[in-house]
Structure 1
Amino acid sequence: MELLKQRIRKDGTVKGNDVLKVDSFLNHQMDVALFEEIGKEFLRRFDGCGVNKILTIEASGIGIACVTAQFFHCPVIFAKKSKTKNIAGEVYTTKVRSFTHGNVSDVIVSTRFLGPGDKVLIIDDFLANGAALEGLIDLVSQSGAELAGAGIVIEKAFQPGGDRLRAKGIRVESLARIKSMSEETGVEFMD
């Protein structure tokens, strides 16, 4: 998605060789007009798949998932990183290691919102090592729902997550795939 790549070049900041800060437009301050274009692109890529639920993980994927859901005319479920008093009853749970935060979280979804008969599209802002995506896929599997695939805004293709998941037969559609990045040279995209 050329619009997204241009925005990453213009406003993204590389820290070291593995951190891309896009907080000015994607995951802290959010450019909703850009999200709309992202949502349209995910619809184009997954149209006709029968998606009736969008699943993401708190927190950075929620805004993107909500805007995308408007195009699919379906609800968004976000997996919570801790059980609260607001979630009553049975839950699906899995463990997810966060690349960004460097910790492991129990991630949960209420069984009320995900189950057999659902066709799920996972949406997230980043794919690096794939732990969050694997956790969400596990929740879909536990529920008996069917996975349509995963829509990722930015994939760090130089890290193993995307290749590993595709090798397992998971449909992963990334809008911007980064081949390499450094503070000196910036971001290089895959074709």
Structure 2
Amino acid sequence: MKLLEERIKKDGVVKAGNILKVDSFLNHQMDVELYQEIGKEFYRLFGDCGVTKILTIEASGIGIACVTAQYFHVPALFAKKTKTKNIDGEIYTSQVESFTHGTTYQIMVSKRFLGPEDTVLILDDFLAKGNALMGLIDVVGKAGAKLAGCGIVIEKGFQEGGRLLREKGIRLESLAIIDSMNEKELIFREQ
């Protein structure tokens, strides 16, 4: 998605440790017009898959999931990272190791909102090692739901997450794939 790549080049900042900061438009301050274009593109890619739910993980994926859900006319659902009083009853859980935060946490989705009748599109802002997606895929499997595929806004193609998921036969569509990056240069994969 050229529009996204141009925005990353213009406003993205590469930090030490292979961290790409896109917080000025994607995962802190949100450019809603860009989100709309992202949502339209995910609909173009997955619109014929019979999606009944869009699933993401808190927090950065929520805005993307909500905007995209409008095009599919389905609910957006997010896995929580901490148990609150709002999560009652039975839940699906999975362990996820966060590349960005360097911690492991348990994600939770209420069984009330996900079941075998669902066809799920998983969305997230970044893909690095693939741990968050694998946790969400695990939850979809525990629910007995069908996985339509996974949509990623920015994939770090130089890390193993995308390759591992594709090798498992999971449909993975990334809107921008970065093959290498440093403080001076971002190299995008031709798609």
Question: Normalising by the residue count of structure 2, what TM-score does the alignment of the two structures yield?
Answer: 0.98
Q: For residues 48-86 of structure 1, what are the alpha-carbon distances to aligned partners after superposition, in whole Å with 9 as ceiling and x for unaligned? A: 100010000000000010000000000011000011111
Give 1:148 deviation, angstroms: 0.2
For structure 2, which runs of at least 5 residues remain unmatched after alignment?
none
TM-aligned CA deviation for residue 124 of structure 1: 0.2
| Contact 1:17/1:181, CA 8 A, preserved across alignment | no
Partner of 1:38: 38
Instruction: Report whether the alignment pairs 1:73 with 2:70.
Output: no
- How far apart in 1 are the matches of 2:14 and 2:101? 17
Deviation digits for residues 83-139 of structure 1 (CA, Å, limit 9, x no counterpart): 111111000000100111100011000000000010000010000000000000000
- Alignment-derived partner of residue 163 in structure 2: 163
Once residues 117 and 167 of structure 1 are traced to their aligned partners in structure 2, the CA distance between those partners, rounded to angstroms, is 26
Q: Secondary structure at the match of 2:170?
A: coil
Contact persistence 1:152–1:174 (CA under 8 A): yes
Match for 1:180: what amino acid?
S
CA shift, 1:17, in A, is 5.2
Give, in whole Å, the separation in 2 of the partners of 1:65 and 1:85: 23
In structure 2, what is the equivalent of residue 190 of structure 1? 189
In structure 2, what is the equivalent of residue 135 of structure 1? 135
> What is the CA–CA distance in structure 2 between the aligned matches of 1:83 and 1:90, rounded to whole Å?
12
Matched ranges for 1:14-163 at <5 A: 14-16=14-16, 18-163=18-163
Shift of 1:16: 2.1
Q: Distance in 1 between matches of 2:10 and 2:106?
A: 36
Report the secondary structure of 2:113's partner residue.
coil
SS in 2 for 1:150: strand
Matches of 1:77 and 1:61 in 2, distance apart?
Answer: 10
Q: How many pairs align?
A: 190
Deviates more, 1:128-137 or 1:13-22: 13-22
Runs of 4+ in 1 over 2 A off after TM superposition: none
Structure 1, unmatched stretches of 5+, are none
Instruction: Give me the whole-angstrom Cα distance separating, in 1, the residues matched to 2:42 and 2:86.
Output: 31
In structure 1, C-alpha distance between the alignment counterparts of 2:104 and 2:27, rounded to whole Å: 20
Identity of aligned residues (%): 68
